[in-house]
Amino acid sequence: MAGKFEPKTPVNLDPPKDDPITLEELAQADVFVGKDASRALAKSSKEPEDVLPEWQDLDETRKGVLNDWITFFSKRYNIVGVVQGATNME
């Protein structure tokens, strides 16, 4: 059996990139775009007030949900950049 969150069809990913992306480059008409949505992902929320980078104060269950999202995305998509000024790259 495939590991947790493995895609049904294997995805061949390019090596990760570390090119910084500015918020201006990401700015689109969506609640998550151009923002660090870590807290919203951990809370499974689409509310604008939850779209924040702060997640360290969440309980262990919510932190586990955030880690699941990281696993989900990293097994499907290449890292093409990081949000400029991000401070929670733990």
Query: What pLDDT tens digit does each residue of the chain (90 aa) get?
Result: 457 777 777 778 777 666 665 666 555 446 777 778 889 989 988 888 998 888 889 999 999 999 898 888 888 887 777 767 766 555
Give residue 47's pLDDT. 86
pLDDT at 39: 92
Closest CA to 42 of 59, 30, 22, 25: 59
pLDDT at site 23: 60
What are the extents of the domains in the chain? 31-83
CB-CB contact of 5 with 71 (8 Å): yes
